[in-house]
Structure 1
Amino acid sequence: MSEIILSVKDLTISFQTLDGKVSAVRGVNFDLKKGETLAIVGESGSGKSVSMKAINRVLPQKNTVYDQGEILYQGKNLLELSEREMEKIRGRKIAMIFQDPMTSLNPTMTVGKQIAESILIHEKMPKDKAMMEAIELMRLVGIRNPEESCKNYPHQFSGGMRQRVMIALSLACKPDILIADEPTTALDVTIQSQILDLIDDLKAKLNMSVIFITHDLGVVAHVADRVAVMYAGRIIEIGTAEEIFYNPQHPYTWGLICSMPSLDTKDASLYSIPGAPPNLLHMPKGDAFAPRNAYALAIDFEEEPPFFTVSASHAAATWLLHPDAPKVTPPPEIIRRQHIFNSFMKKDKGGEAYVGSHAASGR
């Protein structure tokens, strides 16, 4: 059994705003195993980034309220640590890559100095040795001629190369956990594939665990060992990548899969989940997805569903899994989309189907 390196238990987070209390994260639970990639997927506003930023305690302190829960790393609850104690973990043990490297990199410093500075903050060593380490990291992430490139500023790099710099910066202290928050969204589709392969290769070389945040199911299939699907601040289905793609149980997961474009479809229209996510200021009674759910039962509008076990590694929070629920057949579009994942899945990386499908989605 793989070692569990991180456990998030009943994490509940709200934001105090002028309009009232926003329930951003509601009772999130998951474990992260050593050496695995866990993908967190869902629409914008589902709570993916908030949950993961909470792990590194980088949410704004002024209006963030950790209502309840634990984030356990090496036997410590990160929510109970002081800021000084967190500084020893943030970046050194748990690192993050953000979506837009141009807003994360300092435009007034050379990239080599920025990477070396990260090393110096956490490691006691001479500056020249830190710069040598920075150059080796740049070489590791595939930046050509790193001895010269380290003297350049962020604006002198392409988008893909800036993201490689960000990855090098994140790996400066060889962290145990890397959190990647939609790191390929702004990139050309071909570069996306290269960055995904790079993160996967580095994970294997450095024996890291990776949490990958995305709304793109093609990315999920390409990198993930396990997948957690989030909706309205709550994980509503979790399982291995194969289970989520080939045996999805929650109607929201069905909708996400049906929304994925296929180059082979003869239908020019693209499916979209009807309606919109709920207002987190005023959560509806029962299941938050019920108003958008064509398969909703009467109980969905009264009680939030618990998790039902599908297998030892797969569970979903839907009343459709209750023993007394009527049998429901997933939409036929699910089957028509599943053939896409055969070429996407991690075992068969980098194929033309990966690039082609992303091109079709306009990402």
Structure 2
Amino acid sequence: MEKILEVNDLKLSFHTFAGEVQAIRGVSFDVYKGETIAIVGESGSGKSVTTKAIMRLLPESSSEFKDGHILFNGRDLTKLSDKEMQKIRGKDISMIFQDPMTSLNPTMTIGKQITEPLLKHQKVSKSEARKIAIDLLRMVGMPKPELRIKQYPHQFSGGQRQRIVIAIALACNPQILIADEPTTALDVTIQAQILELMKDLQKKIDTSIIFITHDLGVVANVADRVAVMYGGRIVEVGTVDEIFYNPQHPYTWGLLSSMPSLDTAEEKLYAIPGTPPDLLDPPKGDAFALRSEYALAIDLEQEPPTFQISDTHFASTWLLHPDAPQVEPPVSIIERMKKFPGSRYYEGGTR
């Protein structure tokens, strides 16, 4: 597969009155043409900051790239000027934000908002841009697009506004579409429709998607690969099947255990104890150690390296070291792993 985005050892800090917040602490991942990679983790893990760093949307007055590279088609985005980034934003890399109402300008018709990136990046006429805008609205499932193109954001429902935001993001056929929790503000029924729409559109325009979410149920439906973030780092990355059915990091175990399912028999869902680390003063070893019942003594002293489980599966935990004691994951996780051929618990079951 063709690699179009490469994030290498990215380190980014925010300068605040309280001190330096080390928000991103050595993040590395790749994005391939036509794939969907989901970045998951609790609030504060660094998901949105990572993607906003890719788009260069963080305030330069308070944020600083400390190290690393963001290579897009061979160009390092961290080195580009604002003017150079303006040619990439909206054209080659687009973003869908969490709340469509704050993404749209209430004083402009949606037609004008959809045609704006077309007029800026595609150099088409106003009449041609309007025709493309109508086609985009039709593509995202908006009824009567010729009429609705003249209306304002307040005249649409939440699900319709999110469809409009998607149409704007797709206007210039971007190579990468970043979706930052695009369905969080929507009810479950509309959420399913938007996710199905995004999958269909991806096939039509062959774009790559970086999907940010804390909802693992969403991940199972949309992603090809998953990167699990914690404390400003990626602690595990693999295919959807590897993350769901052969997870290796205790934090991934915790996320999966806290996910409700139709098979959940207990009255209470599992909750990961404690709170995420304070990145003003990051922990010395494994950032998850103080919240993990599986932590080893070395976790409090030394940051774990990244261990390779398969060609596509990597995790940063000392439990994968050859000298580490054999630790049994939670029963619910073992039951999942029994169904995965790459797991040591595999029993030949089916999913």
Q: Which residue of 2 aligns with 1:355?
A: none
The Cα of 1:333 is off from its aligned counterpart by: 2.0
Q: 1:306 to 1:338 in 2, by over 3 A?
A: closer
Contact 2:178/2:209 (8 A) holds in 1:
yes
Taking the TM superposition and a 5 Å limit, the aligned residue runs for 1:257-268 are 257-268=256-267
Structure 1 unaligned regions, length at least 5: 342-363
- How big is each residue's C-alpha offset from its partner over 1:176-212, in whole Å with a ceiling of 9 and x where there is no partner? 0000000000101011111111111111110100000
Contact 1:258/1:337 (8 A) holds in 2:
no
For residue 61 of structure 2, what is the amino acid of its counterpart? K
Structure 2 distance, partners of 1:258, 1:202, is 32
Taking the TM superposition and a 5 Å limit, the aligned residue runs for 1:117-136 are 117-136=116-135
For residue 254 of structure 2, what is the amino acid of its counterpart? G
Q: Aligned Cα RMSD in Å?
A: 1.4
Structure 2 distance, partners of 1:340, 1:300, is 30
The Cα of 1:265 is off from its aligned counterpart by: 2.1
The Cα of 1:264 is off from its aligned counterpart by: 2.9
Taking the TM superposition and a 5 Å limit, the aligned residue runs for 1:235-250 are 235-250=234-249
Taking the TM superposition and a 5 Å limit, the aligned residue runs for 1:182-193 are 182-193=181-192
Structure 1 distance, partners of 2:169, 2:23, is 26
- How big is each residue's C-alpha offset from its partner over 1:30-64, in whole Å with a ceiling of 9 and x where there is no partner? 11000000000000000000001111100111100
SS at match of 2:117: helix
The Cα of 1:340 is off from its aligned counterpart by: 12
Q: Which residue of 1 aligns with 2:76?
A: 77
- How big is each residue's C-alpha offset from its partner over 1:265-324, in whole Å with a ceiling of 9 and x where there is no partner? 221011000011111101111111000010000000000001000001000000000000
Q: What's the TM-score once normalised by structure 1's chain length? A: 0.92
The Cα of 1:128 is off from its aligned counterpart by: 1.2
Structure 2 distance, partners of 1:58, 1:186, is 22
SS at match of 1:211: strand
Q: Which residue of 1 aligns with 2:36?
A: 37
Count residues in correspondence: 340
Structure 2 unaligned regions, length at least 5: 341-351
For residue 131 of structure 2, what is the amino acid of its counterpart? M
The Cα of 1:335 is off from its aligned counterpart by: 4.3
Contact 1:262/1:340 (8 A) holds in 2:
no
SS at match of 1:237: strand
Structure 2 distance, partners of 1:337, 1:276, is 26
For residue 83 of structure 2, what is the amino acid of its counterpart? R
Contact 1:257/1:337 (8 A) holds in 2:
no
Structure 2 distance, partners of 1:8, 1:226, is 15
SS at match of 1:311: coil
Contact 1:260/1:337 (8 A) holds in 2:
no
The answer to whether structure 1 residue 283 and structure 2 residue 289 are counterparts is no
Q: Which residue of 1 aligns with 2:142?
A: 143
The Cα of 1:336 is off from its aligned counterpart by: 5.3
Q: Which residue of 1 aligns with 2:16?
A: 17
Q: Which residue of 2 aligns with 1:54?
A: 53
For residue 196 of structure 1, what is the amino acid of its counterpart? L
For residue 78 of structure 2, what is the amino acid of its counterpart? L
The Cα of 1:263 is off from its aligned counterpart by: 2.9
The Cα of 1:245 is off from its aligned counterpart by: 0.3
Q: 1:338 to 1:222 in 2, by over 3 A?
A: farther
Taking the TM superposition and a 5 Å limit, the aligned residue runs for 1:205-224 are 205-224=204-223
The answer to whether structure 1 residue 27 and structure 2 residue 18 are counterparts is no
Contact 1:24/1:233 (8 A) holds in 2:
yes
SS at match of 2:264: coil
Q: Which residue of 1 aligns with 2:196?
A: 197
Structure 2 distance, partners of 1:103, 1:216, is 22
- Percent identical pairs in the alignment equals 65
Contact 1:26/1:234 (8 A) holds in 2:
yes
Structure 1 distance, partners of 2:144, 2:34, is 30
Q: 1:281 to 1:134 in 2, by over 3 A?
A: same
- How big is each residue's C-alpha offset from its partner over 1:153-177, in whole Å with a ceiling of 9 and x where there is no partner? 1011110000000000000111000
The Cα of 1:337 is off from its aligned counterpart by: 6.5
Q: What's the TM-score once normalised by structure 2's chain length? A: 0.95
- How big is each residue's C-alpha offset from its partner over 1:66-107, in whole Å with a ceiling of 9 and x where there is no partner? 000100011110010111111110110000000001001000
The Cα of 1:123 is off from its aligned counterpart by: 1.6
The answer to whether structure 1 residue 152 and structure 2 residue 151 are counterparts is yes
Q: 1:337 to 1:262 in 2, by over 3 A?
A: farther
Structure 2 distance, partners of 1:84, 1:37, is 28
The Cα of 1:125 is off from its aligned counterpart by: 1.6
Structure 2 distance, partners of 1:267, 1:244, is 23
Q: Which residue of 2 aligns with 1:345?
A: none
Contact 1:115/1:172 (8 A) holds in 2:
yes
More off after superposition, 121-130 vs 14-23? 121-130
Structure 1 distance, partners of 2:162, 2:288, is 35
For residue 206 of structure 2, what is the amino acid of its counterpart? N
For residue 50 of structure 1, what is the amino acid of its counterpart? V
Structure 1 distance, partners of 2:176, 2:339, is 30
Q: Which residue of 2 aligns with 1:99?
A: 98
- How big is each residue's C-alpha offset from its partner over 1:101-120, in whole Å with a ceiling of 9 and x where there is no partner? 10010000110111011211
